[in-house]
Structures are given as C-alpha cells and as structure tokens.
Amino acid sequence: MVPLALEAAESVAAEGIAAPVMDLRTISPPDTPTVRASVAKTGRLVVVHEAPRSGGAGAEVIASLVECCFYALRSPPRRVTGFDLVYPPQLLEDAYLPSVARVAAALRQVVED
C-alpha cells in the first residue's frame, strides 16, 4: 500500500495538502513513537491497508494512537481498507482494494473536518 499512499499524497499536494507517508513494516511491535510524532505535528491520521475494515490492523493502529494522542487529533482518524466482504476473485480485486482515489478522499476529509 505504500506506493499507492505515496501516489495519493502526491495527488493532494497540488491542493496544498501535505501528507507524510510512513511504512509500518511491523505491526508488532509497532513503531508508535514515529507515528505519535507525526500525529502530534499534523493532528491527523489516515491508515491504509488491504485487509477488511472490521478487525483489521488499521483499527489497532488507530486505537493505540487514540489512547496516547487523543488531544493532539484535530479530526477523526480515517481507515482506507478492503471492504467487509469475502476476498473477491482476481477480476474484481481492483474494485475491492484501496485505491489512490479513496486514499486521496480520506486525506481531504481529515483536512476538512
């Protein structure tokens, strides 16, 4: 998802939205200090992953950051994920997975809130 997130960040940069992208290569142990510093600086958080929305790793990342950074948040955190469906056949995979457009929309939402 990192190349996709970088492309989305690039697409909203033309609108004056700066979106740093972090690659959390490991979820356990999480790189909480790095993400915490970014949330403290920007006041915003968008998590992108391929898994379904419910019960996905993004929910855990957001929960742990809300516990320590709640008062730094200037808008609700957003998740851009796969849909809560059975993983589709290959022909429908692109419609299921997060897209640049969906990530860019989430980036705009956190800025507008």
Examine the pLDDT at 28 and tell me if it is beyond 80: no
Whether 95 shows a pLDDT value over 90: the answer reads yes
pLDDT of residue 60: 87
pLDDT in tens, 43-88: 999 999 999 999 888 898 899 899 999 999 999 999 999 999 888 8
Q: Where are the domains of the chain?
A: 2-112
Give me the mean pLDDT over the 37-42 stretch. 93
Nearest Cα to 108, choosing from 57, 44, 22, 64? 44
No. of helices (H) and no. of strands (E), the chain: 5, 2
Q: At what angle do helices 57-69 and 32-42 cross, to 10 degrees?
A: 60
Q: Mean pLDDT, to the nearest integer, of 30-55?
A: 91
End-to-end CA distance of the chain, in Å?
24
What is the pTM assigned to this prediction? 0.91
Average pLDDT, the chain: 92
Percent of the chain with pLDDT over 70: 99
pLDDT for 57 equals: 86
Which residue has tokens 């008062």? 71
Sign (positive or negative) of CA dihedral 51, 53, 59, 60 = negative
What would the CATH number be for the domain defined by 2-112?
3.40.50.920
